[in-house]
Amino acid sequence: MLNLCGGSYLKRQLTVNLESKEINTSYIENDDITSENDDLIFSTSLLSGYQIIGVNRIEVCTKNIKSKAGGYFSHYLKCNNYDLIRIKGKSDMPVFIYLNKNSVKIYDAEEIFFMSYKDSKDVIKKILGEENIEMSSISTAGAHKLDFSKIMFGEKKSCGKDGLGKIMGEKNLKAIVVKKQESLNSHDEIILNNINEKINDRLNKDDLNSYFLDENNCYGCNINCKSTSIQKLTKRGIDNKRAEVIDNVCNEYGMDSITFTKFFDGEEDIYKLADNIIKNPNEYKIDHNSKKVTKKEENIFDKLGFCRFLINKDILTKKELEELIKLVEN
Protein backbone atom coordinates (compact mmCIF):
# COMPACT_ATOMS: atom_id res chain seq x y z
CA MET A 1 0.00 0.00 0.00
CA LEU A 2 1.11 3.57 -0.68
CA ASN A 3 1.86 5.14 2.68
CA LEU A 4 1.19 8.75 3.55
CA CYS A 5 4.86 9.63 3.29
CA GLY A 6 4.97 8.81 -0.39
CA GLY A 7 5.64 5.18 -1.15
CA SER A 8 5.82 3.38 -4.44
CA TYR A 9 3.25 1.99 -6.85
CA LEU A 10 3.17 0.99 -10.51
CA LYS A 11 2.28 3.58 -13.12
CA ARG A 12 1.21 2.82 -16.68
CA GLN A 13 3.43 4.88 -18.96
CA LEU A 14 2.86 5.83 -22.58
CA THR A 15 6.09 6.66 -24.41
CA VAL A 16 5.90 8.52 -27.72
CA ASN A 17 9.12 9.04 -29.68
CA LEU A 18 8.44 11.97 -31.98
CA GLU A 19 11.57 11.35 -34.05
CA SER A 20 11.04 7.64 -34.81
CA LYS A 21 7.23 7.81 -34.33
CA GLU A 22 7.46 4.73 -32.09
CA ILE A 23 4.68 4.35 -29.49
CA ASN A 24 5.14 2.03 -26.49
CA THR A 25 3.38 1.21 -23.23
CA SER A 26 5.19 0.07 -20.09
CA TYR A 27 4.85 -0.03 -16.30
CA ILE A 28 7.25 1.81 -14.00
CA GLU A 29 7.51 2.47 -10.28
CA ASN A 30 6.08 5.80 -9.20
CA ASP A 31 9.38 6.86 -7.64
CA ASP A 32 11.25 5.97 -10.86
CA ILE A 33 9.76 8.85 -12.83
CA THR A 34 12.77 10.81 -14.05
CA SER A 35 13.30 12.79 -17.23
CA GLU A 36 16.17 11.53 -19.36
CA ASN A 37 17.92 13.85 -21.81
CA ASP A 38 15.19 16.04 -23.32
CA ASP A 39 12.16 13.96 -22.24
CA LEU A 40 8.97 15.89 -21.50
CA ILE A 41 6.76 14.10 -18.97
CA PHE A 42 3.07 14.62 -18.15
CA SER A 43 2.16 12.78 -14.94
CA THR A 44 -1.13 12.24 -13.09
CA SER A 45 -1.54 11.26 -9.44
CA LEU A 46 -2.75 8.05 -7.80
CA LEU A 47 -6.23 9.53 -7.26
CA SER A 48 -6.62 11.07 -10.72
CA GLY A 49 -9.43 9.70 -12.87
CA TYR A 50 -11.79 8.95 -9.99
CA GLN A 51 -14.75 11.13 -9.06
CA ILE A 52 -13.12 12.77 -6.05
CA ILE A 53 -13.68 16.38 -5.01
CA GLY A 54 -10.66 18.57 -5.73
CA VAL A 55 -8.41 16.02 -7.45
CA ASN A 56 -7.35 17.59 -10.77
CA ARG A 57 -3.63 18.41 -10.79
CA ILE A 58 -1.23 17.45 -13.59
CA GLU A 59 2.55 17.59 -13.19
CA VAL A 60 4.80 18.40 -16.14
CA CYS A 61 8.54 18.02 -15.89
CA THR A 62 11.81 17.88 -17.77
CA LYS A 63 15.27 17.18 -16.40
CA ASN A 64 15.47 20.68 -14.88
CA ILE A 65 11.89 22.00 -14.66
CA LYS A 66 8.84 20.82 -12.74
CA SER A 67 5.45 22.54 -12.77
CA LYS A 68 1.80 21.77 -11.99
CA ALA A 69 -1.61 22.88 -13.22
CA GLY A 70 -5.29 22.26 -12.61
CA GLY A 71 -8.04 21.80 -15.18
CA TYR A 72 -9.44 18.59 -16.69
CA PHE A 73 -6.48 17.06 -18.52
CA SER A 74 -5.14 14.97 -15.64
CA HIS A 75 -8.54 13.44 -14.94
CA TYR A 76 -9.22 12.40 -18.53
CA LEU A 77 -5.67 11.22 -19.19
CA LYS A 78 -6.09 8.78 -16.30
CA CYS A 79 -9.57 7.82 -17.56
CA ASN A 80 -7.81 6.69 -20.76
CA ASN A 81 -5.83 4.26 -18.54
CA TYR A 82 -2.51 6.12 -18.58
CA ASP A 83 -0.76 7.50 -15.52
CA LEU A 84 1.84 9.41 -17.47
CA ILE A 85 3.05 10.28 -20.95
CA ARG A 86 6.75 10.50 -21.79
CA ILE A 87 7.58 12.48 -24.93
CA LYS A 88 10.98 11.71 -26.45
CA GLY A 89 12.82 13.32 -29.34
CA LYS A 90 11.72 15.97 -31.81
CA SER A 91 9.35 15.67 -34.75
CA ASP A 92 10.52 16.86 -38.17
CA MET A 93 7.16 18.61 -38.61
CA PRO A 94 4.43 19.99 -36.31
CA VAL A 95 2.21 17.23 -34.88
CA PHE A 96 -0.36 16.52 -32.21
CA ILE A 97 -1.00 13.24 -30.38
CA TYR A 98 -4.49 11.80 -29.88
CA LEU A 99 -5.33 9.24 -27.17
CA ASN A 100 -8.54 7.24 -27.11
CA LYS A 101 -7.92 4.43 -24.61
CA ASN A 102 -5.52 2.00 -26.33
CA SER A 103 -5.63 3.86 -29.65
CA VAL A 104 -2.78 6.37 -29.89
CA LYS A 105 -2.20 8.28 -33.14
CA ILE A 106 0.05 11.09 -34.33
CA TYR A 107 -1.53 13.75 -36.57
CA ASP A 108 -0.14 16.54 -38.75
CA ALA A 109 -0.44 19.90 -36.93
CA GLU A 110 1.16 22.26 -39.46
CA GLU A 111 -2.14 24.06 -40.10
CA ILE A 112 -2.74 24.80 -36.40
CA PHE A 113 0.78 25.12 -34.98
CA PHE A 114 0.73 28.90 -34.47
CA MET A 115 -2.92 29.10 -33.41
CA SER A 116 -4.19 29.93 -29.92
CA TYR A 117 -5.36 27.18 -27.58
CA LYS A 118 -9.04 27.86 -28.32
CA ASP A 119 -8.73 28.13 -32.10
CA SER A 120 -6.55 25.04 -32.41
CA LYS A 121 -8.92 23.03 -30.21
CA ASP A 122 -11.84 23.94 -32.48
CA VAL A 123 -9.90 22.76 -35.55
CA ILE A 124 -8.75 19.55 -33.84
CA LYS A 125 -12.36 18.69 -33.03
CA LYS A 126 -13.15 18.92 -36.74
CA ILE A 127 -10.08 16.89 -37.74
CA LEU A 128 -11.01 14.12 -35.30
CA GLY A 129 -14.76 14.40 -35.79
CA GLU A 130 -14.99 14.39 -31.99
CA GLU A 131 -16.37 17.08 -29.68
CA ASN A 132 -15.61 15.43 -26.34
CA ILE A 133 -11.90 16.09 -25.91
CA GLU A 134 -9.51 17.72 -23.48
CA MET A 135 -6.01 18.78 -24.38
CA SER A 136 -2.65 20.04 -23.29
CA SER A 137 -1.26 22.45 -25.84
CA ILE A 138 1.14 25.25 -26.59
CA SER A 139 -0.28 28.47 -27.97
CA THR A 140 1.32 31.06 -30.23
CA ALA A 141 4.20 31.87 -27.85
CA GLY A 142 5.30 28.23 -27.55
CA ALA A 143 5.20 27.81 -31.32
CA HIS A 144 7.49 30.84 -31.62
CA LYS A 145 9.74 29.31 -28.92
CA LEU A 146 9.47 32.24 -26.53
CA ASP A 147 11.55 31.73 -23.37
CA PHE A 148 8.58 32.30 -21.04
CA SER A 149 5.90 30.44 -23.01
CA LYS A 150 3.57 28.12 -21.09
CA ILE A 151 1.75 24.86 -21.66
CA MET A 152 -2.01 25.44 -21.65
CA PHE A 153 -4.58 23.06 -20.17
CA GLY A 154 -7.53 25.28 -20.96
CA GLU A 155 -8.00 28.90 -21.94
CA LYS A 156 -7.09 29.97 -18.39
CA LYS A 157 -5.19 26.98 -16.97
CA SER A 158 -1.46 26.61 -17.57
CA CYS A 159 1.92 25.70 -16.17
CA GLY A 160 5.59 25.99 -17.03
CA LYS A 161 6.40 29.69 -16.94
CA ASP A 162 10.07 28.65 -16.88
CA GLY A 163 9.91 27.63 -20.52
CA LEU A 164 8.02 24.34 -20.75
CA GLY A 165 6.03 25.78 -23.65
CA LYS A 166 9.27 26.55 -25.49
CA ILE A 167 10.48 22.96 -24.94
CA MET A 168 7.22 21.59 -26.31
CA GLY A 169 7.50 23.97 -29.28
CA GLU A 170 11.08 22.88 -29.96
CA LYS A 171 9.81 19.31 -30.15
CA ASN A 172 7.28 20.45 -32.79
CA LEU A 173 4.53 19.08 -30.55
CA LYS A 174 1.43 21.26 -30.72
CA ALA A 175 -0.81 19.29 -28.40
CA ILE A 176 -1.65 16.08 -26.59
CA VAL A 177 -5.37 15.42 -26.98
CA VAL A 178 -7.38 12.91 -24.93
CA LYS A 179 -10.92 11.73 -25.48
CA LYS A 180 -13.23 12.25 -22.53
CA GLN A 181 -14.09 8.91 -20.92
CA GLU A 182 -16.22 7.80 -17.99
CA SER A 183 -14.59 8.20 -14.57
CA LEU A 184 -12.78 5.17 -13.19
CA ASN A 185 -14.60 2.98 -10.67
CA SER A 186 -13.12 2.54 -7.20
CA HIS A 187 -13.33 -0.71 -5.23
CA ASP A 188 -16.35 0.66 -3.33
CA GLU A 189 -18.29 3.59 -4.77
CA ILE A 190 -20.45 3.92 -1.64
CA ILE A 191 -17.41 4.50 0.57
CA LEU A 192 -15.98 6.91 -2.03
CA ASN A 193 -19.22 8.88 -2.04
CA ASN A 194 -19.12 9.02 1.79
CA ILE A 195 -15.60 10.48 1.62
CA ASN A 196 -16.79 13.09 -0.88
CA GLU A 197 -19.61 13.95 1.54
CA LYS A 198 -17.06 14.48 4.34
CA ILE A 199 -14.96 16.78 2.13
CA ASN A 200 -18.08 18.72 1.14
CA ASP A 201 -19.19 19.08 4.77
CA ARG A 202 -15.81 20.61 5.62
CA LEU A 203 -16.00 23.02 2.69
CA ASN A 204 -19.17 24.61 1.35
CA LYS A 205 -21.86 22.01 2.08
CA ASP A 206 -23.05 22.31 -1.50
CA ASP A 207 -24.84 19.85 -3.73
CA LEU A 208 -22.24 17.16 -4.51
CA ASN A 209 -23.09 17.30 -8.21
CA SER A 210 -22.02 20.97 -8.33
CA TYR A 211 -18.37 19.91 -8.01
CA PHE A 212 -18.52 17.90 -11.24
CA LEU A 213 -20.25 20.29 -13.65
CA ASP A 214 -18.57 20.71 -17.05
CA GLU A 215 -18.63 24.52 -16.75
CA ASN A 216 -16.33 24.52 -13.69
CA ASN A 217 -12.77 25.70 -14.27
CA CYS A 218 -11.27 22.48 -12.91
CA TYR A 219 -12.49 18.92 -12.50
CA GLY A 220 -14.07 18.20 -9.11
CA CYS A 221 -14.08 21.82 -7.97
CA ASN A 222 -16.89 24.40 -7.87
CA ILE A 223 -14.83 27.23 -6.35
CA ASN A 224 -13.79 28.58 -9.78
CA CYS A 225 -11.08 30.67 -8.16
CA LYS A 226 -9.62 33.63 -10.00
CA SER A 227 -6.23 33.43 -11.61
CA THR A 228 -3.41 33.66 -9.06
CA SER A 229 -1.53 35.66 -11.71
CA ILE A 230 -4.03 38.51 -11.36
CA GLN A 231 -3.42 38.60 -7.60
CA LYS A 232 0.35 38.68 -8.18
CA LEU A 233 0.03 41.45 -10.76
CA THR A 234 -2.04 43.65 -8.44
CA LYS A 235 0.57 43.17 -5.71
CA ARG A 236 3.06 44.65 -8.18
CA GLY A 237 1.02 47.84 -8.32
CA ILE A 238 -0.99 47.12 -11.47
CA ASP A 239 -4.66 48.01 -11.10
CA ASN A 240 -7.12 45.12 -11.17
CA LYS A 241 -8.73 46.00 -14.51
CA ARG A 242 -5.38 46.22 -16.31
CA ALA A 243 -4.16 43.06 -14.53
CA GLU A 244 -7.15 41.14 -15.93
CA VAL A 245 -6.37 42.41 -19.45
CA ILE A 246 -2.72 41.36 -19.14
CA ASP A 247 -3.71 37.94 -17.82
CA ASN A 248 -6.25 37.38 -20.61
CA VAL A 249 -3.85 38.50 -23.36
CA CYS A 250 -1.02 36.35 -22.00
CA ASN A 251 -3.29 33.32 -21.74
CA GLU A 252 -4.40 33.81 -25.34
CA TYR A 253 -0.78 33.94 -26.52
CA GLY A 254 0.36 31.29 -24.04
CA MET A 255 3.01 33.34 -22.24
CA ASP A 256 3.64 33.97 -18.55
CA SER A 257 1.96 37.20 -17.44
CA ILE A 258 4.35 37.91 -14.55
CA THR A 259 7.39 37.72 -16.82
CA PHE A 260 5.49 39.79 -19.41
CA THR A 261 5.36 42.72 -16.97
CA LYS A 262 9.18 42.86 -16.91
CA PHE A 263 8.89 44.37 -20.40
CA PHE A 264 5.78 46.45 -19.66
CA ASP A 265 6.29 50.09 -18.64
CA GLY A 266 2.76 50.54 -17.30
CA GLU A 267 1.60 52.85 -20.08
CA GLU A 268 2.34 50.75 -23.15
CA ASP A 269 -0.43 49.21 -25.26
CA ILE A 270 -0.73 45.66 -23.88
CA TYR A 271 -1.85 44.07 -27.15
CA LYS A 272 0.87 45.82 -29.16
CA LEU A 273 3.58 44.70 -26.73
CA ALA A 274 2.34 41.10 -26.73
CA ASP A 275 2.30 41.06 -30.52
CA ASN A 276 5.83 42.48 -30.67
CA ILE A 277 7.10 39.85 -28.21
CA ILE A 278 5.63 37.07 -30.35
CA LYS A 279 7.14 38.48 -33.56
CA ASN A 280 10.57 39.06 -31.97
CA PRO A 281 11.06 36.33 -29.32
CA ASN A 282 14.86 36.63 -29.41
CA GLU A 283 14.62 40.22 -28.17
CA TYR A 284 12.82 39.06 -25.01
CA LYS A 285 15.20 36.47 -23.60
CA ILE A 286 14.96 35.17 -20.04
CA ASP A 287 17.78 33.31 -18.31
CA HIS A 288 15.91 30.73 -16.24
CA ASN A 289 19.19 29.28 -14.97
CA SER A 290 19.93 32.49 -13.08
CA LYS A 291 16.82 32.10 -10.95
CA LYS A 292 17.23 30.89 -7.41
CA VAL A 293 15.02 27.83 -7.15
CA THR A 294 13.48 27.11 -3.76
CA LYS A 295 12.45 23.50 -3.52
CA LYS A 296 9.08 23.25 -1.83
CA GLU A 297 8.28 20.16 0.15
CA GLU A 298 5.03 18.62 -1.03
CA ASN A 299 2.49 17.46 1.48
CA ILE A 300 0.42 14.32 0.92
CA PHE A 301 -2.59 16.23 -0.49
CA ASP A 302 -0.32 17.79 -3.12
CA LYS A 303 1.21 14.41 -4.00
CA LEU A 304 -2.25 12.91 -4.40
CA GLY A 305 -3.30 15.62 -6.87
CA PHE A 306 -5.63 17.78 -4.80
CA CYS A 307 -6.04 21.38 -5.99
CA ARG A 308 -4.10 24.14 -4.25
CA PHE A 309 -7.21 25.50 -2.55
CA LEU A 310 -7.66 22.26 -0.61
CA ILE A 311 -4.03 21.37 0.12
CA ASN A 312 -3.78 23.29 3.41
CA LYS A 313 -7.34 22.83 4.62
CA ASP A 314 -6.98 19.41 6.32
CA ILE A 315 -10.06 18.23 4.50
CA LEU A 316 -9.41 14.59 5.43
CA THR A 317 -7.83 12.92 8.43
CA LYS A 318 -4.90 10.53 8.06
CA LYS A 319 -7.23 7.58 8.56
CA GLU A 320 -9.65 8.88 5.92
CA LEU A 321 -6.81 9.42 3.43
CA GLU A 322 -5.60 5.86 3.98
CA GLU A 323 -9.14 4.62 3.39
CA LEU A 324 -9.34 6.66 0.18
CA ILE A 325 -6.03 5.28 -1.11
CA LYS A 326 -7.19 1.69 -0.47
CA LEU A 327 -10.23 2.35 -2.67
CA VAL A 328 -8.11 3.00 -5.77
CA GLU A 329 -5.07 0.78 -5.30
CA ASN A 330 -4.67 -2.19 -7.66
Pairing of strands 10-17, 84-88: parallel
Identify the DSSP state of 156: S
CA–CA distance, 245 with 228 (Å, rounded to integer): 14
pTM beyond 0.75, yes or no: yes
Closest CA to 85 of 72, 98, 95: 98
pLDDT in tens, 10-48: 899 999 999 999 999 999 887 667 777 889 999 999 999
pLDDT in tens, 145-191: 999 999 999 988 999 878 899 999 999 999 999 999 999 999 999 99
Strand order in the sheet with 40-43: 23-29, 10-17, 84-88, 40-43, 58-61, 66-69
pLDDT, tens digit (0-9, with 9 covering 90-100), for 37-47: 889 999 999 99
> CB under 8 Å to 215, separation ≥6 — which residues?
none
Q: Is 60 in contact with 147 (CB distance < 8 Å)?
A: no
Summarised one tens digit per residue, pLDDT across range 121-134 is: 999 999 999 999 99
Query: Which of these, 34, 36, 74, lies nearest to 52 by C-alpha position?
Result: 74
Q: How far is CA 187 from CA 12, 146, 289, in A?
A: 19, 45, 45
Domains in the chain, CATH or no CATH each: 1-225+292-330 (3.60.9.10), 228-290 (no CATH)
pLDDT tens per residue across span 279-303:
999 999 998 665 554 556 677 888 8
Residue 107, Cβ density class (10 Å: 0-12 exposed, 13-18 middle, ≥19 buried): middle
Q: 200-205: long-range contacts at Cβ-Cβ below 8 A with a sequence spacing of 24 or more?
A: 200/53, 202/313, 202/315, 203/53, 203/310, 203/313, 203/315
